[in-house]
Structure 1
Amino acid sequence: MTGAVLLALAASLLLGTSDFLGGLLSRRTPLIVVLLGSQLVVGALLSLALLVEPYDAAAGDAIAAGIVSGASTAIALAALFRGLAIGTMGVVAPVSALAVIVPVALGIAQGDPVGGMLGLGLLLAIAGTVLASGPELRAGRRAALSLALGGIAALGFGVSQAALGIGSAESVVTTLLTHAATVIGLLIVAFSAWVHVRLRGAAGRLRSGRAASPALLPARITGRDAAAIVVTGVLVAGANLAFAVATTAGALSTVAVLAALYPVVTVVLARQVLGERVRRAQLAGVVLALVGVGLIAAGG
């Protein structure tokens, strides 16, 4: 059990750090570049699973679940990284952690009992989110948008978790690889559309006699930023691996509670590295929300 606890905590540390890096990079580098670059790294690392187990093209449920999970993750990642880039990381990250509500709600719809711990967790999570979000909603449209993006990320990650659970019952490797391929495929389409829009805009400015930069990117990606994108992908892949192994070595409820603490890492990094400050009421709301998420994971 000690090994499972350590792995779950490692997953939280890796995922929280990757979210911080991704949000920070998205403040100075185009979001689609950060997303596609990091997910290509994730896909390359996950493909190593083929050395252990072959891809099962006949596993229909696993493939369907992987597609749903991948599409949801692509949307969630884009929303989360953008939200972290334009908003207060110490508030947006805990909002995204409410993703755990989706698979729990699915379980309740399928007949799972609602215990006292689960009910209390839901109340604390909702109350904490409202308390933490209140000042942000009054801070202007940009702050309010960051919270909305955090909510979209929570929904997307929640759907992804539920789909992964369904698909993994048939084949873990097939589900994960289909998931990764779907995420990368959608991001390539988004990147192509982004390139088209930028080139079309530059061509329009040239036709009207205005200056237009020949560069595709608004600013050159430095070697440091490129390395950070790779590190973000490695951290995400490591978090997925640590969580998967932890669930085979310990109780799922315990692993889920500890893995759901990843926003704490993002909040701490934002405070220490960026000097980000939140009001006392917001801090209390963040704590309540995280406690609620932990109770939901344990009670679900």
Structure 2
Amino acid sequence: MATYLVGSRASNLAKAQVREYLRPLRERLPGVTFTHRVILEGGDKDRKSALSAVSAVSGGSAFSSEQEAALARGDVDVVVHSLKDLPTSNRQGLTLLAPPGREDVRDALCGSTLAGLRKGARVGTGAPRRVAQLLAVRPDLDVVPIRGNVPPRLKKIETMGLDAVVLAVAGLRRLGLDDAIGEVLPLDLFPPSPGQGALGIQVRTDDDSAPLRALLSTVGDAAADAAVRAERALLAELHGGCSVPVGAYGETLPNGELSLAGQVTSLDGRVRVAETVTGPATEPEKLGASLATLLIDQGAHAILGEVRAALSSR
């Protein structure tokens, strides 16, 4: 009987994602044992420093570097990430498999609706993309930086006297916290982080891992894979990451083509460029690169340069 070790972060959401991923595999493969192993990340150990500083210390992502290192060493056989937390380039010897479908990609406002927020309302979020998109729609808001796992961030509405917080719908649903959603934010104004709602299934590329890759490929979803590959290609072409205000959403159309929308917004919300392209779903990386070119022509690089300068000075 084959046994495989599955790594993830320690949060309740990470554990829920592992259960979600393994459920169909265990049903299809009763002769295979999957054992879960928790791996602490820099962003989980250090809850006070800015994520950019934590990422700099880890030499990668604050929420994926330790898991990738464990996978590369052979401490685990596969890692289940939140795809939006992963850098757009794979560590040498590692690769991403197709995700098993995708949860709702949208963001949610918890504690209120946009229209229900008073002038000057205090809204909590630590993501530059969400800060920028909120201020683009409601420049009167006082956006308060917060960090932590999903339930603690929800509690900050009470503990910090906030009017609302912004969280991913996918995380709320995976934790059974749908009732906390005050309003699901529209995709045209609040496009999500590339990969949001999808699981990042990472494995080694060596020959010994070939049997596992074959097993895991049985639950991969081609449409979700094409969408997230296009989104991540856009982000890579813009030289972005988790800490820049880039939103993207790929969607397979009824005719089989792939539509990709992208948006880049300044931190104060005053400047926003957006475009949508359509092309073959079989060439998602090309579609992401072509959208990046259109956004760059509209000034995306200048916006992101100012964002990086502002974030590095904090």
With the length of structure 1 as denominator, give the TM-score of the two structures.
Answer: 0.29
TM-score normalised by the chain length of structure 2: 0.28
Q: Which has the higher helix share?
A: 1
Compare relative contact order (CA 8 Å, sep 6+) and give the higher one, 1 or 2. 1
Please identify which structure carries the higher strand content. 2
